[in-house]
A = this chain, B = another copy of it.
């Protein structure tokens, strides 16, 4: 059975515990556009998106990830996806047209890594705000860019995604070949999915793209003005991996949202893979700024198709947070040279 032809990471469905608080964060602060809202859920999109939504917030008892949705190239590919996962022995549920707001007949699966995935093609078109500068705030967000998930066994996860037709753009390894994280893509950017080594399945973050860095900086300034700077977990900064300018926020339920810009074109078949040394202090932040421990430690619970939290599988290999600053001291700016204390501290 062949794999479905996936176009890209398309939307995430998050369970939030206070829809009004989430609305303030995603709509009033981040400026996402409401495509639909009722007492149970809010469907949101970014300014350059014409599909109905790239983020669904659903009211629930416990903060969690309910689904990561990939768009496939045609409606036929939805059924290809269903059969592909059936073949893999996964639980598969077909959702008929009308079952999911803004999206046609789709399929949801519990994938081999334990994540609830959706595959869809048909979707309602709504107004694309690309040129609606009258509605853009200073922090205008263009589109969903990627998902980042925590999973214990990176090589196995990479193989699973390669079988789905994804290609690796970058990864982090150590001198023994242990892989700590890997970035894979379908659309020609650095990634649609990042695989982060750790106890999983958990959702590390979803990321939205802007055109420029000043839009990301404005989000920070605005959070300060609103006395909500504590939504800022990490950054802004420049990643080593992906070369993107980034900001990590935590939403009112603790779900992590990245705002991201400036990665590069990967669409040619021979796009070179970049492998980073886990001890290279510029891999996670090109400026070598420390990573807060929570960024490594915390991630969102993942639900199965019945809405129950998935149990975690522990990572067997070394953990990235344990082999960098604050631990064995093996990290470097320049190999063989010590780093100044202000690059260390309790942070990673």
Q: Which residues from chain A sit less than 8 Å from chain B, CB to CB?
A: 7-8, 48, 50-51, 71, 73-74, 123, 125, 128, 130-138, 140, 142-143, 187-188, 211-214, 217-218, 220-230, 232-234, 236, 238, 240, 243, 245, 250, 261-262, 264-265, 267-272, 281-282, 286-290, 292-295, 333-334, 339-343, 345-347
Contacts and interface: CB of A to CB of B under 8 A. Distances in A.
A270 B238 contact: no
A140 B262 CA distance: 13
Contact of A230 (B48, B226, B340): B340
Contacts of A142: 264
Contacts of A48: 264-265
A139 B265 CA distance: 19
Contacts of A136: 138, 218, 221-222
Contacts of A288: 224, 229-230, 232
Contact of A272 (B125, B131, B243, B340): B125
16 contacts: A8-B267, A50-B272, A71-B268, A123-B270, A133-B138, A133-B218, A143-B265, A212-B214, A217-B245, A224-B287, A228-B333, A229-B288, A230-B340, A232-B287, A233-B342, A345-B347
Nearest to A269: B73
A136 B290 CA distance: 25
Contact of A292 (B133, B226, B233, B342): B342
A264 B229 contact: no
Contacts of A187: 188, 265, 267
Nearest to A345: B346
Given A142-B264, A265-B143, A230 B7 contact: no
B287 A229 contact: yes
B131 A225 contact: yes
Nearest to A347: B345
A272 to B, nearest CB: 6
Given A229-B287, A341-B294, A134 B222 contact: yes
A155 B204 CA distance: 48
Contacts of A220: 238, 286-287
A340 B272 CA distance: 39
Given A136-B138, A142-B264, A213-B213, 18 more contacts: A128-B272, A130-B264, A131-B243, A133-B225, A137-B137, A211-B261, A211-B262, A212-B214, A220-B238, A229-B286, A229-B287, A229-B288, A290-B347, A292-B342, A292-B345, A293-B345, A294-B340, A347-B347
B240 A224 contact: yes
A221 B233 contact: no
B342 A222 contact: no
A190 B217 CA distance: 21
